[in-house]
A and B are shown apart, each in its own frame.
Chain A
Amino acid sequence: MKIRSKTLGTIIAFVIFGGILGASTLGLWKTESVRNPNSIQRNKSIGEAARENAVTGDYYPADIRGNHRFGEISEIFNIPLEILSHAFALPPDVDPANFKNQDFDSIYPSFEGEQEIGNGSVKWFVALYTGLPFELEDEEEDTYLLRPAVEILKKHASLTAEQIAYLDAYTIEIEFEIPDSYPSEDEFQSSDEGAGDGEETKLKQDEMIVAGKTTFADLLDWGVSAEKIETIIGGGIPNRLILVYDYCAENGLPFGQIKTELQIEVDTLGP
């Protein structure tokens, strides 16, 4: 059987575009790993949501619920706890790791008019800080953030002009005392400054943070020995490409504790 160029060209186009069309019809054609936030049931914990999304490595601000703690949010979205604590002006006597989103009323004085800080504010902050997709829903319109949160976002996040305008319009100017333990202005600026070795070192350190997307291969590449990793996780490394988070979830290990111990090992390696 012979085939001429016109037939071959037609078959090539048909196989490629027909295949894509067929895959789309079957729901298999996925060019990005964005997932419908509504598919997560409202009563699921963020840990469960994160485990579901660990396959794709994506976690979404829309999954954050009122009963989630800052510690969980920090861990899942890789936002330093100090940043969350500073952004929402937690008092010094409140343990940020265990603070729940639904408890803002107990720590803030009454704000003017319709101004309010709640779970929507946390979702909004996390979305802007991480750059993850999130749309304010109807009931979350007029979402306010405190001045420190707005300042952090302006310095650390890639905001559009529209987002900056929104933030400026919905900023609550706090008058109550900000605890001393919050990150200083200099610390914030240090990540934005200059180029060259300093910036490279900072980037390198930033990259070497144990988080939800960290694989065993990452740890080994950073220089942590296989023996140390195995001591910390209490078993052999199953496969270099598995997420540490997944391994912990599958083996009933506390990811937070494992992550901290691994981070200590990473930090001892230096820049």
Chain B
Amino acid sequence: MKLFPRNKIWLRTVLQIFFFILIALIAVNHVLEDSGVKIPLLSNASLHAVCPFGGVVSLYQFAAVGTFTQKIQQSSFILMILVFILAFLFGSVFCGWVCPLGSIQEWVGKLGKRLFKKRYNHFIPWRIDQYLRYLRYIMLIWVLYATAMTGKLAFGDIDPYYALFNFWTGEASFTGLAVLGVTLLASLAVERPWCKYACPYGAILGITNLFSVFSIRRRESTCKSCDICFHDCPMNIPVHAVKVVRDHQCIGCLECTSEAICPIENTVVFATKGSR
């Protein structure tokens, strides 16, 4: 029996598991710090210190008065810069390869696939869904505005990422836990619901898909228009209908490529403009 299914981007799964465990252990280490115990060779930083979105919400305050938003550390800024470098090159691959909240939604979604079969991830009619996808920009604007006005983490109390790794410590707010619960429940029917409709960080990274150096490209001459890339896309992007995927929702998972689900070699690829 093979560890990963055929045509699976196995390294992505490995990295997702790795980052999920890493962040979980850092969260545990942070709590253990109070009791004087520490997991060796592992950071005991707070979750805020290892979240690149903390850097984004601190940008205004840092530019205006030279300080960070409450609870945000310099490491968040460093991570923000590193993730932006990746995003300018490859689009929002952070969402598809690294973000633990995205990963857990994906894993819960595998159960949803078994439950709902082909209906999974296709419950919401596209004519409505395509507009709902912009809700995350409203969330982004609100988070940035509220944080800039108060100097506090406006997003902190509803953040499902913080709740995910702190549900057992008592530090997560009720709202955060509720949002996490709803997100995981919705993941049974819709793939990555938080990423699609609410994630403010995904919103800002998604903008880089519009101009990133690398992007998903489809060669029309060899494409059989079987639509399998569209049906397998976790973000419901109609890959089969475009030459270049410049969709703000693409998470760069490469599951639509010829390396994975596309049956024709060298037809759907992750490449720069003009590549053959």
CB-CB under 8 A for A1 and B272, given A6-B11, A16-B82: yes
Number of B residues, CB within 8 Å of A: 49
Say yes or no: B98 contacts A16, CB within 8 Å. yes
Tally the A-B contacts, defined by beta carbons under 8 Å.
111
Task: Report which residue of B43, B50, B148, B150 has the largest number of chain A beta carbons within 10 angstroms of its beta carbon.
Answer: B150
Cβ-based interface call for A236 (8 A): no
Say yes or no: A12 contacts B275, CB within 8 Å. no
Interface string of B1-36 (1 = CB under 8 A from A): 000000001011011000000000000000000011
Min CB distance, A78 to chain B, in Å? 15
Say yes or no: A8 contacts B78, CB within 8 Å. no
Task: List 18 extra interface pairs beyond A221-B150, A239-B65, A241-B65, CB under 8 A.
Answer: A2-B271, A3-B271, A4-B259, A8-B93, A8-B252, A9-B97, A12-B90, A12-B94, A23-B78, A28-B74, A30-B75, A32-B46, A57-B70, A160-B35, A160-B36, A217-B150, A217-B151, A240-B149
CB-CB under 8 A for A3 and B82, given A8-B270, A31-B73, A241-B61: no
Say yes or no: B214 contacts A19, CB within 8 Å. no
Cβ-based interface call for A94 (8 A): no
Contact of B75 among A15, A29, A56, A57 (CB under 8 A): A29
- Enumerate A2-26 residues with CB–CB distance to B below 8 Å: 2-6, 8-13, 15-16, 19-20, 23
Cβ-based interface call for B85 (8 A): yes
- When C-beta atoms are compared, the residue in chain A nearest to B148 turns out to be A241
By a beta-carbon cutoff of 8 Å, the part of chain A in contact with chain B is: 1-6, 8-13, 15-16, 19-20, 23, 28-33, 55-57, 160, 215, 217-218, 221, 239-243
Cβ-based interface call for B66 (8 A): yes
CB-CB under 8 A for A1 and B275, given A31-B43, A31-B46, A241-B65: yes
* A271 and B81 alpha carbons, distance in the complex (Å): 42
Q: Which residues of B contact A23 (CB under 8 A)?
A: 75, 78
Min CB distance, B75 to chain A, in Å? 5
Say yes or no: A215 contacts B46, CB within 8 Å. no
* A243 and B15 alpha carbons, distance in the complex (Å): 41
Cβ-based interface call for B67 (8 A): yes
Q: Which residues of B contact A12 (CB under 8 A)?
A: 15, 86, 90, 93-94, 97-98
The 16 sampled A-B contact pairs (Cβ below 8 Å) are: A2-B270, A4-B259, A4-B270, A5-B9, A8-B90, A8-B93, A8-B252, A11-B90, A16-B82, A19-B81, A20-B82, A29-B74, A30-B74, A32-B45, A221-B150, A242-B65
* A31 and B26 alpha carbons, distance in the complex (Å): 12
Contact of B254 among A8, A15, A218, A241 (CB under 8 A): A8
Cβ-based interface call for B244 (8 A): no
* A12 and B11 alpha carbons, distance in the complex (Å): 11
* Cβ-closest 8 pairs across A and B: A31-B45, A9-B11, A31-B49, A19-B82, A30-B74, A2-B271, A241-B151, A5-B9
* A132 and B271 alpha carbons, distance in the complex (Å): 51
Min CB distance, A160 to chain B, in Å? 7
- When C-beta atoms are compared, the residue in chain A nearest to B49 turns out to be A31
Q: Which residues of B contact A28 (CB under 8 A)?
A: 74, 78
* A31 and B45 alpha carbons, distance in the complex (Å): 6
Cβ-based interface call for B140 (8 A): no
Interface string of B60-102 (1 = CB under 8 A from A): 0100111100100111001101110110011001100110000
Cβ-based interface call for B269 (8 A): yes
Min CB distance, A204 to chain B, in Å? 16
Say yes or no: B78 contacts A29, CB within 8 Å. yes
Q: Which residues of B contact A33 (CB under 8 A)?
A: 73
Say yes or no: B272 contacts A241, CB within 8 Å. no
Say yes or no: A15 contacts B271, CB within 8 Å. no
Min CB distance, B42 to chain A, in Å? 12
Q: Which residues of B contact A57 (CB under 8 A)?
A: 67, 70
Task: Report which residue of A13, A56, A241 has the largest number of chain B beta carbons within 10 angstroms of its beta carbon.
Answer: A241
Q: Which residues of B contact A215 (CB under 8 A)?
A: 151
Say yes or no: B49 contacts A1, CB within 8 Å. no
* A1 and B274 alpha carbons, distance in the complex (Å): 8
Min CB distance, A5 to chain B, in Å? 5
Q: Which residues of B contact A30 (CB under 8 A)?
A: 73-75
Say yes or no: B67 contacts A31, CB within 8 Å. no
